[in-house]
Structure 1
Amino acid sequence: MSFTGFTAPWWFLLLIAVAAVAAVYVVMQRVLRKRMLRFANLSMLEKVAPKRQGWWRHGPAAFLLVAFILLTVALAGPTAEQKVPRNRATVMLVIDTSLSMKATDVRPSRLEAAQVAAKSFADGLTPGINLGLISFAGSATVLVAPTTDRGAVTQSIDGLKLAQATATGDAIVAALASIDSFGKVVGGADGPPPARVVLMTDGKETVGTKRAFDAAEDAKKAGIPISTISFGTEDGVVEIEGRRQEVPVDDDSMKEIAKLSGGEFFKAASAEELRRVYDTLGEQIGYEKKQADASRPWVVLGTLIGLASLAGALLLGQRLP
């Protein structure tokens, strides 16, 4: 057995005492039997002694030993990995609203599917997390500063409007600036809260004062990973000013941004895939795994078995084990 899952494994030394008690019980049973056979008249013993109860007469003592073992495990402080909601984190949701997002290769359109999935992500995120929203096309706009008010975020997602160009780098810069400003306000003795950027886009960067890759490196230095979602298919087509234009997704750029920032890349080619990506991100961002105390079940079970042993002893032998 590995004791790495216990906070105080030295309590297992009590099992030596439990084993000693078990051994003494066995020895005493043999001694009593020998004494009874030595000093009793066998014919008389058969008449006056109660019928032998069989092996189950040892049940109360056995149950009591099991209870001691369970309580010893509880004293050793068992721990278990549990999912704990995060209540101190900042997430900036950054959504591409360039004209390519009106492509209908994802029904009803890339933007409408993205809005539905983004609202679901916002609503399902752990309540204690601060969520902000940025939209970007030719420039980036902070629509909602980090807040726990999900209503403000979902309302702004509904109001997203399309525009020309794709300034991915500027969007990342705006997200980092928003996180920095918020962190200075709420940061305590432990420093600013942990943060992450969730960037959803479908196309290549076309304009901007800072390249997306350079902004991703800045995010890495700030310790803020970027989770990128490449949304759409290779067959996307839109009409701009009466001209038909192909708008395939740009997976390579999104992969590189995620890599440079220390984040993760996700690809979604349908509304359902995008929903699953957001569900995955919500789980990753909203919860963390911690080693928590798991002694309660051992205490409860040990106590119940101990009480059962006492009850059995009184009912079967009219004495305690």
Structure 2
Amino acid sequence: MFSFEWPWVFTAVLLPFVVYRFLKPVPQDKAALKVPFYAQLSGTLQTSQTVVRKGRLLILLTIWLLLLASAAKPMWLGDPEPLLTSPRDLMLAVDISGSMETKDMQLGSQMVDRLVGIKVVLDGFIKRRSQDRMGLILFADNAYIQTPLTLDHRTLVKFLNEAQIGFAGQKTAIGDAIGLALKRMKKSSEKSKVLILLTDGANTAGTVTPLDAAKMAAEHGLKIYTLGFGADELIVSSFFGNRRINPSADLDESTLQKIAELTAGQYFRARSIDELVKIYQLLDELEPQPAAGKGIVPQQSLFYWPLGAALLLSILLALVQIVRGLIFTRPSKAIRESENA
């Protein structure tokens, strides 16, 4: 947005007219210079002088307006950028073990695997957390950092969507995922540190047990929200007909609840994509966005544009005056001949 910081400067726009109207002109010598070839020039001079006088007045007025515009401090104001007064570090840990390939999630009119459902829900959650530093851990046989803590949420979503089942093996290392999150976050200077861990199974791999990792997390102030994900019932077709199974039979809800209790967090159970959406909306309420301070408005000063234009016009006007002076102070050949006669 374009704006003037000192718009009151434009109240001086009529100052030249006031000076011209009320100040007495400088006394001039009334003696006239007799020019022998005046008759030959009078008609041409009167017309040309009138045109030149009006053009010169217009240029001077333009220069004055440009100088006023420069003095008024023109600014280009950008979009306000909020200041964070209490940022939060929030790490997401997502299970990509083999069981996440189970297609027990309904998305629209089709059944999709669990990881696809998670990606859809997390996309909206990440976009809502614009003021948090967020990172992503993927885990299966091992845990690894997919995205370090960052405010670049577009990149975070990109790397989340690139995650594939089986990248890190087929088992589930919940304890290692917590340990890796703690390692990354315990050195952070932020007061609020949160881990949201989502899995559909039990700890079957890794070097650290989930509860030992949770105890260490509690000592360092890392709050953990655990999410158990997967349907309770799935109809499977076979040669002998349809049968109902529990695709989440391996989900260790007891351990997930204890992890949340040890770290002052909370455990949630999501059996569908809709339930997962509601859980992440609840997490928005439990961990609200940090308060934003008064925003900074980026400013770019533009005074040099009208000032430069005024300077350029002044130079051009001076050059025109010099050229006119040279032309009219040198008589033409015809006039010199008439004088000699």
TM-score bracket for the superposition, by shorter chain length: 0.5 to 0.7
Compared CA separation, residues 232 and 111, structure 1 to 2 (3 A)? same
Specify the code of the residue in structure 1 equivalent to 2:173.
A
Distance 1:288 1:149 in 2: 17
1:304 is matched with which residue?
A: none
Specify the code of the residue in structure 2 equivalent to 1:157.
L
Specify the code of the residue in structure 2 equivalent to 1:171.
A
Q: Is the 8 A contact 1:103 1:236 kept in 2?
A: no
Distance 1:101 1:257 in 2: 21
1:110 aligns to 2:114 (yes or no): yes
| Alignment counterpart, residue 199 of structure 1, candidates 166, 180, 197 | 197
Q: Is the 8 A contact 2:143 2:177 kept in 1?
A: yes
Specify the code of the residue in structure 2 equivalent to 1:97.
I
Report the Cα offset of residue 118 of structure 1: 1.0
2:165 is matched with which residue?
A: 162
1:209 is matched with which residue?
A: 207
Distance 1:195 1:237 in 2: 40
Q: Is the 8 A contact 1:258 1:265 kept in 2?
A: yes
1:151 is matched with which residue?
A: 154
2:131 is matched with which residue?
A: 128
1:234 aligns to 2:232 (yes or no): yes
Larger helix percent? 1
Identity rate of aligned residues, in percent? 30
Report the Cα offset of residue 259 of structure 1: 1.1
1:222 aligns to 2:213 (yes or no): no
Alignment of 1:33-182 (within 5 A): 87-107=86-106, 108-125=112-129, 127-163=130-166, 164-181=170-187
1:9 is matched with which residue?
A: none
2:276 is matched with which residue?
A: 274
| Alignment counterpart, residue 258 of structure 1, candidates 254, 257, 260 | 260
Report the Cα offset of residue 288 of structure 1: 6.2
1:37 is matched with which residue?
A: none
Distance 1:138 1:236 in 2: 26
Report the Cα offset of residue 274 of structure 1: 0.3
Specify the code of the residue in structure 2 equivalent to 1:131.
M
Compared CA separation, residues 203 and 88, structure 1 to 2 (3 A)? same
Q: Is the 8 A contact 1:198 1:228 kept in 2?
A: yes
2:49 is matched with which residue?
A: none
Compared CA separation, residues 236 and 160, structure 1 to 2 (3 A)? farther
Compared CA separation, residues 119 and 270, structure 1 to 2 (3 A)? same
Report the Cα offset of residue 129 of structure 1: 1.0
Report the Cα offset of residue 180 of structure 1: 2.4
Q: Is the 8 A contact 2:230 2:247 kept in 1?
A: no
Distance 1:264 1:131 in 2: 19
Q: Considering only CA atoms, is the larger Rg found in Structure 1 or Structure 2?
A: 2
Distance 1:122 1:99 in 2: 25
5+ residue gaps, structure 2, are 1-82, 107-111, 237-244, 292-341
**CA-based RMSD:** 2.5
